[in-house]
A and B are shown apart, each in its own frame.
Chain A
């Protein structure tokens, strides 16, 4: 991998704005009341997006899990009557509900650089007061995850358990042990991030030029139109 990546490594270039619109629409549709066919279509589109970003491992993992859960649900969903079985079905449906969103979110995070985000939003004439926090938020979520994993690891080295039992019986202690190092180490990362942004001239008032070229092209329009059509058809109830 090169040291600095300005443009994400995709098969077809997709504008960050398209990814965002797709993410929001898929969110709305998945959270609402919808037929199974819509779910399958949305999961399919999300898989395509992942593949387009050359995220093969994620495609196989999330896509495979989705269709596996779907198969289990449609095969056994109605016959299970024991409480445990029903609990498992509910859990599998919950996971399935979130999978397309997770996929789109992965595309947003792993397949979009911060430069691309900022360039796209600047083209959409959004104020800097919104662009910067939003771009940083998307960039920072994986960092939080990494820091959290490191903390849990460090805790286990010292023999402090971190699990269901610890959360249930010593909630405040566990909270303190996780939260304090997380915030302290994140604060360090934030300062570095801010310094990096200064060197890139993010705090200038003048209009920034950008090496990344973002433009809405044919694939963008096709994708957006496709999802919007699914949305309208679903609202009209023509998809069963």
Chain B
């Protein structure tokens, strides 16, 4: 393996995290309007952020980069509890290991790794598992009874697994798109 990250790469990590976070927040706001799309947030975010992730991993193909990104995204998502942060680190670790098996250069490994990474966009929903009452209570305050009743009927506890899988699939699609964009645009522009 190569040596540890240089300052330049740390700066790149921070900058990409900024783009990631902007995308994440934009997606959460857009999908939050109806319960159905809100449940698909992990899937859609996975697709949209795929190209950014792929560019990032190809620009800094080293150990530790994914974990930094995961930690920063996790920090942003864990506004109500620490579960999202832990979950993000877990997903980041899984992505790290998967991409590491391909030496961070194999497109296939990276796509699979992004699948794991993108599962972490489920983070905000984790409180359904651990603190259901409080979660719905705080939602009622903002969305009103009807929205929450609708949401609750759509989302029994077991749905978390489904959401994680949807995030994974979204990640795979986003990853494939990202690789395409990489080949088609970024390599040609000479920024990788």
Tell me if B164 is interfacial: C-beta within 8 Å of chain A: no
In the bound complex, do residue B141 and residue A186 qualify as a contact, i.e. CB atoms below 8 Å apart? no
In the bound complex, do residue B12 and residue A194 qualify as a contact, i.e. CB atoms below 8 Å apart? yes
CA distance A214 to B96 in the complex (A): 36
In the complex, what residues of A have CB within 8 A of residue B189's CB? 184
Distance from A98 Cβ to chain B, minimum over Cβ atoms (Å): 9
In the bound complex, do residue A144 and residue B10 qualify as a contact, i.e. CB atoms below 8 Å apart? no
CA distance A31 to B79 in the complex (A): 7
CA distance A182 to B185 in the complex (A): 12
Known: A28-B79, A184-B189. A93 touches B19 (CB 8 A): no
Give me 19 other A-B pairs in contact (C-beta within 8 A), A132-B14, A175-B48 excluded.
Answer: A31-B80, A32-B138, A90-B142, A93-B142, A129-B5, A133-B68, A133-B72, A136-B15, A137-B21, A179-B181, A183-B191, A186-B15, A188-B191, A193-B15, A194-B8, A197-B7, A197-B11, A203-B6, A203-B8
In the bound complex, do residue B10 and residue A184 qualify as a contact, i.e. CB atoms below 8 Å apart? no
CA distance A144 to B189 in the complex (A): 19
Distance from B12 Cβ to chain A, minimum over Cβ atoms (Å): 6
Contact of A27 among B7, B19, B79 (CB under 8 A): B79
Tell me if A33 is interfacial: C-beta within 8 Å of chain B: yes
Known: A90-B142, A90-B147. A180 touches B14 (CB 8 A): no
Which of B7, B48, B72: most chain A CB closer than 10 A? B7
CA distance A203 to B5 in the complex (A): 11
In the complex, what residues of A have CB within 8 A of residue B147's CB? 90
Residues of B within 8 A of A (CB): 5-8, 10-15, 17-19, 21-22, 32, 48, 51-52, 55, 59, 64, 68, 71-72, 79-80, 134, 137-138, 141-144, 146-147, 177, 181, 185-186, 189, 191
CA distance A97 to B137 in the complex (A): 15
In the complex, what residues of B have CB within 8 A of residue A89's CB? 144
Contact of A180 among B48, B64, B181 (CB under 8 A): B181
Tell me if A41 is interfacial: C-beta within 8 Å of chain B: no
Distance from B9 Cβ to chain A, minimum over Cβ atoms (Å): 9
In the complex, what residues of A have CB within 8 A of residue B185's CB? 180, 184
Residues of A within 8 A of B (CB): 27-28, 31-33, 86, 89-90, 93-94, 97, 128-130, 132-141, 143-145, 148, 172, 175-176, 179-180, 182-184, 186-190, 193-194, 197-198, 202-203
A-B contact pairs, 23 of them (CB 8 A): A33-B134, A128-B10, A129-B64, A133-B14, A134-B14, A136-B11, A136-B15, A136-B17, A139-B14, A140-B14, A140-B19, A141-B18, A141-B21, A144-B18, A182-B19, A184-B186, A184-B189, A187-B191, A190-B12, A194-B8, A194-B12, A197-B11, A198-B8
Q: Can you name the residue of chain A whose Cβ is closest to the Cβ of B137?
A: A33
Distance from A141 Cβ to chain B, minimum over Cβ atoms (Å): 5
Q: Can you name the residue of chain A whose Cβ is closest to the Cβ of B146?
A: A86
In the complex, what residues of B have CB within 8 A of residue A182's CB? 19
In the complex, what residues of B have CB within 8 A of residue A33's CB? 134, 137-138, 141
Known: A31-B80, A89-B144, A145-B22. A184 touches B191 (CB 8 A): yes
Distance from A46 Cβ to chain B, minimum over Cβ atoms (Å): 15
Distance from A108 Cβ to chain B, minimum over Cβ atoms (Å): 13
CA distance A134 to B72 in the complex (A): 7
CA distance A143 to B18 in the complex (A): 9
In the complex, what residues of B have CB within 8 A of residue A172's CB? 177
CA distance A219 to B6 in the complex (A): 37
Q: Can you name the residue of chain A whose Cβ is closest to the Cβ of B73?
A: A137
CA distance A48 to B140 in the complex (A): 29
Q: Can you name the residue of chain A whose Cβ is closest to the Cβ of B6?
A: A203
The 6 closest A-B pairs by CB, nearest first: A136-B14, A140-B18, A133-B14, A203-B7, A132-B10, A33-B138
In the complex, what residues of B have CB within 8 A of residue A135's CB? 14
In the bound complex, do residue A176 and residue B14 qualify as a contact, i.e. CB atoms below 8 Å apart? no
In the complex, what residues of B have CB within 8 A of residue A128's CB? 7, 10
Q: Can you name the residue of chain A whose Cβ is closest to the Cβ of B14?
A: A136
